């Protein structure tokens, strides 16, 4: 492979990290690289935290919308005069796209005649089969309209792990397509322009991950539960019916609602208030494919000779499906390169994989007796069964002491080394899985063999040149990475708009943000606590509710040494978030901290039912609340300015966040992180000199 081709392959591999787009540019249930590397599909599907969504001007006083064209050139289902149009940007290889399909089917059944779905292709660059599958689907549409399109669409999602060329031809035959035309279309990339046009539109409106939906122009990102769709659809039906009542023809409702919608992404979180919609935004970031990182081998498990010319550091998670998917590729590399390659394992159990930490502990327990790689193979072979009792069985199969293995997992015996691996990955900007450092150069995701070989071949040539110049084989890795970077290195992503300012640097983990603590904000914990945690949250955000038990655990473990301060950060695409925040603020105004936290608990316990009537019911349930004052406060938006001031405080401090986000003595911890992440941050704050 030529050097130019290799660089192109690597760039394509790296661009995958961009697919997460605006949904997780701020906060993370995991983090942006988790999604980028563990599939990079729609953030909600991948358990990323909510972050400020997109939108744009719409009808007077209405929700923010995008103007997403719908023409006869796109496959659709449902009547053309449906009152609600859902434009779906999707990828046939994306697991989160397939996961949401039953939800869409349920919507079509439940709203029969009222909803139509319009398809747009958005194949992600690191899904090897996604573009050919999209081309197959477009050809089906060209031959037989929407009927043939949805037929092959259903076949490809039903067989998502089988999207090779022969599979696509098989589905085309089942769909009754003209096979000569079908093969010619795929061979000639006939529909490339069609797919590129969809991708360009997706980029234009900020649909940077998959699946991405625009419901009458209102953006909903990820494999959301049906209630999330229904909330928007029901609201849109009311608005559409009101338009029809004024004389707007049903088949003109979509155009009427979206005519003033955005035609460019919403300003990034933290953009200057009032910035013009068309103002230049920072260029999207991509990892620098030429950067070399200093990644120490340390005491990590190693497979392959110590004097290998190429070292592949694997950052992985035993429960991550993309990590298991890439294992055959790594095995092939070992076969192809023999003694010139070695592999180093670094643990990165992701917080939303419930069994990943236990599996990592078991693997490190096995490592004590030289059986790490046997455990590694057994864990990946049984990835769907990693509950602790199963893990103990695997330990016994490996000839290990079962009770001791259970204790190692229960007591998190190897937490220190595992956390060190996680911290290293995060510091290098590769906190997702799987991620690889090939002689220090980062490659992310379950890439095809060719992407690995392109990089390995480049590094092998450099290594041989070093050996020829006198460097011992065993010293090549150290010589190559000695002066490597210790923080994420990025470049403007290919395709960034001309004239866009440089991309912002990744958040500095050591930065202390100056966000004043308001005397009037709800608080719990020690009034003179050494550690103050400002929690920016949203009552409708599922990741905000998910982290609440962790917050409770922190309070139990640290008591008066910590204080939590509540700050409101309702996201614009959560319709009930602002009213809930206003309601909580009024409860606080009337009843102080005790009433606020009682109301807070009711909201999170009943997160799916926080409409206006529910807010009033919960306020009455708290007791001691003057309901006339409460309803007046909501009617008059008494506390809206204070809530907006909370949001503005983040911007003023220079932070870009999603929800939930925590400022621990000013240092930012984003997302619904596990307790261990909070503990590490709090212990660090407690160990710092008092000011």
pLDDT-wise least confident of 165-169, 539-543, 619-623: 539-543
Q: Does 130 fall in a domain?
A: yes
CA–CA distance, 479 with 475 (Å, rounded to integer) = 6
Q: Please check whether residue 262 is in contact with residue 66, taking contact to mean a CB–CB distance below 8 angstroms.
A: yes
258, 276, 310 - which closes a domain: 258
Q: How far apart are the first and last CA of the chain?
A: 58
Residues 76 and 132 in one domain: yes
Residues 539 and 662 in one domain: yes
Residues 249 and 312 in one domain: no
CA–CA distance, 673 with 547 (Å, rounded to integer) = 7
Q: Does 510 fall in a domain?
A: no
Q: Does 394 fall in a domain?
A: yes
Residues 474 and 580 in one domain: no
CA–CA distance, 271 with 651 (Å, rounded to integer) = 8
CA–CA distance, 544 with 538 (Å, rounded to integer) = 6
Residues 457 and 373 in one domain: yes
Q: Does 39 fall in a domain?
A: no
546 versus 183: the higher-pLDDT residue is 183
pLDDT at 43: 32
Q: Does 616 fall in a domain?
A: yes
> What's the pTM value of the predicted model, to 2 decimals?
0.46
pLDDT at 617: 96
258, 288, 311 - which closes a domain: 258
Residues 440 and 540 in one domain: no
Residues 170 and 233 in one domain: yes
Q: 550 to each of 152, 454, 502, 537, 599, how far by Cα in Å?
A: 44, 43, 37, 14, 18
Residues 135 and 242 in one domain: yes
225, 258, 291 - which closes a domain: 258
Mean pLDDT of 634-648: 93
Where residue 660 sits, what CATH number does that domain have? 3.40.30.10
Q: Does 113 fall in a domain?
A: yes
The conformation of residue 506, written as its DSSP 8-state character, comes to P
pLDDT at 209: 80
652 versus 269: the higher-pLDDT residue is 652
Residue 48, pLDDT above cutoff 60: no
Residue 617 lies in domain: 523-687
Burial class (CB in 10 A: 0-12, 13-18, 19+), 329: middle
Q: Which of 352, 459, 408, 277 is nearest to 39 (CA)?
A: 352
Residues 128 and 188 in one domain: yes
pLDDT in tens, 427-436: 888 877 899 9
Total domains present in the chain: 3
Residues 435 and 559 in one domain: no
Residues 379 and 254 in one domain: no
Mean pLDDT of 363-389: 96
277 versus 104: the higher-pLDDT residue is 104
575 versus 215: the higher-pLDDT residue is 215
pLDDT in tens, 11-45: 444 333 333 223 323 333 322 233 333 333 333 22
pLDDT at 266: 54
Residue 531, pLDDT above cutoff 90: yes
pLDDT in tens, 61-80: 568 899 999 999 999 999 99
pLDDT grade, residue 510 (50/70/90)?
A: confident
């Amino acid at each position: 492979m030529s050097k130019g081709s290799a660089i192109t392959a690597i760039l394509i591999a790296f661009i995958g990290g961009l697919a997460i787009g605006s949904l997780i540019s701020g906060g993370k249930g995991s983090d942006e690289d988790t999604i980028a590397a563990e599939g990079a599909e729609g953030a909600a599907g991948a358990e990323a935290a909510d972050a400020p969504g997109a939108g744009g001007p719409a009808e007077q006083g209405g929700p923010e919308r995008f103007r997403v064209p719908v023409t006869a050139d796109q496959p659709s289902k449902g009547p053309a005069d449906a009152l609600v149009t859902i434009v779906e940007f999707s990828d046939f290889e994306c697991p989160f796209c397939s996961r949401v399909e039953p939800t869409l089917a349920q919507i079509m059944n439940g709203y029969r005649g009222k909803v139509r779905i319009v398809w747009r292709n958005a194949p992600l660059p690191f899904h090897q089969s996604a573009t050919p599958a999209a081309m197959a689907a477009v050809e089906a549409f060209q031959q037989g309209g929407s009927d043939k399109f949805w037929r092959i669409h259903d076949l490809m999602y039903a067989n998502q792990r089988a999207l090779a060329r022969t599979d696509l031809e098989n589905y085309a035959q089942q769909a009754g397509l003209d096979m000569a035309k079908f093969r010619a279309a795929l061979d000639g990339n006939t529909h490339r322009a069609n797919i590129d046009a969809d991708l360009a539109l997706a980029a234009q409106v900020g649909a940077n991950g998959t699946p991405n939906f625009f419901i009458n122009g209102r953006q909903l990102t990820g494999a959301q539960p049906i209630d999330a769709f229904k909330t928007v659809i029901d609201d849109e039906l009311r608005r559409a019916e009101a338009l029809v009542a004024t004389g707007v023809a049903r088949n003109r409702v979509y155009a009427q609602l979206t005519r003033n919608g955005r035609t460019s992404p919403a300003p990034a979180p933290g953009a200057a208030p009032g910035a013009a919609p068309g103002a230049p935004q920072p260029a999207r970031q991509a990892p620098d494919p030429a950067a070399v990182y200093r990644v120490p081998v340390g005491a990590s498990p190693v497979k392959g000779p110590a004097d290998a010319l190429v070292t592949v550091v694997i950052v992985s998670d035993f429960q991550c499906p993309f990590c298991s998917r890439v294992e055959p590729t790594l095995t092939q590399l070992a076969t192809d390169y023999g003694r010139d390659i070695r592999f180093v394992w670094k643990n990165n159990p992701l917080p939303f994989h419930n069994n990943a930490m236990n599996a990592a502990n078991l693997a490190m327990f096995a490592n004590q007796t030289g059986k790490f790689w046997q455990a590694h193979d057994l864990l990946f072979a049984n990835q769907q069964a990693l509950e602790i009792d199963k893990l103990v069985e695997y330990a016994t199969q490996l000839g290990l002491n079962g009770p001791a293995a259970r204790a190692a997992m229960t007591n998190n015996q190897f937490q220190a080394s595992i956390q060190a691996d996680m911290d290293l990955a995060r510091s290098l900007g590769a906190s997702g899985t799987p991620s690889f450092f090939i002689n220090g150069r980062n490659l992310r995701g379950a890439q095809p063999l060719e992407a690995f070989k392109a990089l390995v071949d480049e590094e092998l040539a450099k290594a041989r040149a070093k050996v020829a110049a006198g460097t011992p084989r065993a010293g090549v890795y150290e010589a190559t990475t000695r002066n490597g970077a210790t923080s994420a290195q990025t470049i403007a992503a290919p395709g960034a708009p001309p004239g866009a300012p440089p991309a912002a640097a990744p958040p500095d983990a050591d930065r202390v943000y100056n966000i004043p603590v308001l005397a009037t904000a709800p608080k719990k914990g020690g009034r003179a606590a050494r550690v103050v945690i400002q929690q920016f949250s949203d009552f409708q955000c599922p990741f905000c509710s998910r982290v609440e038990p962790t917050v409770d655990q922190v309070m139990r473990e640290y008591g008066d040494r910590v204080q939590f301060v509540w700050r409101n950060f309702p996201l614009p695409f959560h319709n009930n978030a602002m009213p809930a925040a206003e309601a909580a603020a009024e409860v606080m105004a009337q009843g102080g901290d005790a009433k606020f936290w009682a109301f807070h608990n009711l909201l999170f316990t009943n997160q799916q039912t926080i409409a206006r009537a529910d807010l009033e019911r919960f306020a009455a349930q708290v007791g001691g609340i003057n309901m006339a004052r409460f309803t007046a406060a909501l009617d008059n938006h008494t506390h809206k300015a204070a809530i907006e001031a909370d949001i503005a405080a983040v911007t003023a401090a220079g932070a870009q966040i999603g929800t939930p986000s925590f400022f621990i003595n000013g240092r930012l911890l984003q997302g619904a992180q596990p307790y261990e992440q909070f503990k590490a941050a709090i212990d660090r704050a407690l160990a710092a000199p008092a000011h």
